[in-house]
Structure 1
Amino acid sequence: MAWIVRIVVVLGVLALLVWGLLYGPGSLDAQYFDPPSTEPELDALFAEEQSPELHEAGWYGAEDLEPGPDGRLYSSLADGRILVRESAPEGSWSVFADTGGRPLGLAFGPDGTLFVADALRGLLRHTGSDFEVWLADESEGGPLVFTDDLTVLADGRVILSDASRRHGYGEYMTSFIEGEQTGVIYTVTGPGEYAVLAEGFGFANGVDHDPATGTVYVNETWAGRVWTLDPDTGERTVLIEGLPGYPDNLHVDEETGLVWIALPSRRSAELEPLHPRPRIKRLAWRCIQVAGLPELPPRPVMGLAVTGEGEPVYALYGPDDQDFGITTVVPWQGRLWTAGLERDGFEAYELRQ
């Protein structure tokens, strides 16, 4: 009988050890997630590498680029500053404002007012001399956790993305490994006035709309997918999926109607197969805690333009020469301008027809 007791004790200890690894302190709240695989036809578009015509170093963390209604180009930096540029290539950047936080997405209202999605402060409206908080970050008593991007419709409604309801700015890798799908799209109509438009996104990142149709576009980063979203009903349909990278900011070019998608990183062949296996993912997390992340995928310059029907028409593929890829790609004054959340400076590429 003694040997039976010993076996039971050993099995009990092993069970407690496994439970501790899966659910104990420091464990990963892994979620089931099954994103569509990369489409080979889309991957094949990124074959011919372009070199930038212009590189301007010394500006770190320009997460978004946004052409303003005044014809100038605006950008948001990691240190809180918002820059503006009159022209290119002979022009230069100057400081337009400072949010005192971490500005990400930029958008202009129909009257020319600048709105900012600030990851540390929330949704901000520029008053001309300062910033008014329209919807606060959770740390300030508001609903927002990871304020990310926005667009302002013709009637003044702000369509705002809260990328994750679980993880804030700087914690995107944990969000990705968990495979959590808590991203929310809000409609904001005034200070403190908001409603949920759509939710359940695997990191709701870039947002923009087509002024000609009113159609809103939202990317679901961890799924490699971009949605078309009805701003009145919240109904969504897939615009394009199977992207070869993780989509970030979106920009609708008013002249062509094309939707530009920035892809800061290729898809991870090592980590994505874990998403449909939450328990295996929990165990893998313990290995990551000890040994660190596996080698991350390449992060070249990647941008894709698609029609309003989701047909790809233009792929930008640039060098893999920095640790982080681009989070924004925007046509402006005949060139494609790029920058990134954790990149140094701006680059401009020939806009090939």
Structure 2
Amino acid sequence: MPSSQTAAAAGRRSLAGFTLRVLLFILTPLAVAVFLAAQIGDIDPAPFPRGLDSPESLVAEEEHPAVLGGASERLGDGLLPGPEDLVYDEKEGFLYTGCRDGWIRRFRPTAAPLDVVVEDWFHVGGRPLGVARSPDGTIVVAEAYQGMLRLNKDGSVSLLADEAEGVKFKLTDGVDISSDGLIYFTDASHKYHLDAYPLDILEGRPNGRLVSFDSSNNQTTVLARDLYFPNGVSLSPDQWSLIFCETPLRRCRRYHIQGEKKGQIENFVDNLPGYPDNIHYDGDGHYSIAISGRRSKFWDLVMKHPLLRKYLIVIVKLVGLPPLSRAGVLSVSLEGRPKALYSDRDLSHISSGLKVGRHLYMGSLTEGHVLRLDLSKFPLDA
């Protein structure tokens, strides 16, 4: 009798173990599927426009791939958390930048990096991105969450615009201002805020807009819509057109402000070697395009296939965006011809490049300083 009871108990344990394995076999994939569906939500990645799969990128006439060595200097090291964009006040000699802690900071770029004094100038909160100087000397800020802000001389902050055509801005980004005070800026996405910007890029849908704001009548006008994460914007020297960058498409486009082509958009430079951020005219016949990171086999594959981007969304939500590398600044002619690329394999998320005198100043989304490169060491042909 004891032996039969033992056998029966063993049989029950075996059956229970088998049942558990079957349940795990059925429920584990189901649980994983439910988890993945919850992470992806209603995001449905779409194919990008054709042209991203070109095997070769544009090559600059001159490439300088090691700017972090003795060639560059760190300004305000540890005092400028994430200096995303830069603007220079020639009269006062200040460089202004927006930092990730909500401060607009300024400093005079002295000859010796250790002598740089960083001033906490205006606290606007949120995450200030693009900065530009108005003809009257005031600074205008594209604050990612609030919208377009003006920093007044009396110390106050004014909200200029936070919507267009009844649609709220979700990610105000790049900005430039014409000589008559008209403000041009990008709403990189009307669907995702800055803290979820990777989702906008991975979704592959045109959620961005190019917008203008006229402070004389407080009129906000959408100049172009259905753009792919429009980022930096820069007026041409004659101010007949402007250039804006579309980050995931690795291209910059020209919008005609006036003339026979008024309102038309055409490609300015495409098939860039990496993903563009801000763009600035350097005052010397070139545009400086910040390259936040270079293209790679991994990113080429991801950007080509919506299904891969769908699974990458889960990874991004759990651990963040895979890092970019070999960032820098690309100098192009007024016709879009690549002239020089200043980069380094250990640089990532370079977000702006601004030429002042003989120096190139580089801002970053993630670093705690502004990089300065002496361009006289790398003379650029016209």
Of residues 361, 369, 372, the one that matches 1:337 is 361
Q: 2: CA distance between counterparts of 1:319 and 1:281?
A: 25
Map of 1:49 onto structure 2: 66
Report what 2:256 is aligned to: 230
Superposed CA offset, 1:26-68 (max 9, x none): 3332122135236344278545422243213112110011112
Q: Relative to structure 1, is the Cα distance of residues 172 and 264 closer, same or farther in structure 2, using a 3 angstrom cutoff?
A: same
Cα distance change, pair 335–145 in 1 and its aligned pair in 2 (3 A) = same
Q: Tell me if 1:26 matches 2:43.
A: no
- 1:246 alignment counterpart: 275
Mapped to 2, the partners of 1:80 and 1:116 lie a distance apart of 11
Cα displacement (A) at 1:245: 0.9
The answer to whether the 8 Å contact 1:38/1:244 transfers is no
Contact 2:134 2:140 in 1 (8 A): yes
Normalising by structure 2, we get a TM-score of: 0.78
Taking a change above 3 Å as real, the CA distance of residues 208 and 294 of structure 1, as seen in their structure-2 partners, is closer
Give runs of aligned pairs for residues 305-316 of structure 1, distance below 5 A: 305-316=331-342
Contact 2:57 2:272 in 1 (8 A): no
Query: 1:204 pairs with 230, 255, 263, which one?
Result: 230
45, 51, 63: which one aligns with 2:84: 63
Deviating more after overlay: 72-81 vs 264-273: 264-273
* C-alpha deviation, 1:230, in angstroms: 1.2
Q: Secondary structure at the match of 2:224?
A: strand
Percent identical = 26
**Cα displacement string for residues 275-321 of structure 1 (whole angstroms, at most 9, x for unaligned residues):** 454345435645x37986785442x3411111110011221123505
* CA distance in 1: counterparts of 2:167 and 2:111, whole angstroms: 41
Match of 1:109 in 2: 134
- Structure 1 gap ranges (5+): 1-12
- Of residues 344, 347, 370, the one that matches 1:346 is 370
Computed over aligned residues only, the root mean square deviation of the Cα atoms, in angstroms, reads 3.0
Name the counterpart of 2:243: 217
Q: 1:207 to 1:284 in 2, by over 3 A?
A: closer
1:317 aligns with 2:317: no
Does the aligned pair in 1 maintain the 2:60–2:340 contact within 8 Å?
no
Larger radius of gyration: 2
Contact 2:287 2:332 in 1 (8 A): yes
Normalising by the residue count of structure 1, what TM-score does the alignment of the two structures yield? 0.83
Cα distance, 1:268 vs structure 2: 4.3
Match of 1:278 in 2: 306
* Kept in 2: contact 1:225–1:242 (CA 8 A): yes
**Any idea what SS the aligned residue of 1:165 has?**
coil
Is the Cα–Cα contact under 8 Å of residues 101 and 118 in structure 1 kept in the other structure?
yes
Partner of 1:4: none
| Distance of 2:98 and 2:37 partners within structure 1 | 40
Aligned to 1:10: none
Given residue 39 of structure 2, which amino acid in structure 1 is its aligned partner? Answer: G
Q: Larger helix proportion, structure 1 or 2?
A: 2
Which residue in the other structure is 1:262 paired with?
A: 290
Give the direction of change, closer, same or farther, for the CA distance of 1:253–1:31 in structure 2 (3 Å limit): same
Q: Secondary structure at the match of 1:170?
A: helix
Say if 1:260 and 1:329, in contact at 8 Å, map to a contact too.
yes
Does the 8 Å CA contact 1:270/1:294 hold for their aligned counterparts? no
Count of residue pairs brought into register by the alignment: 332
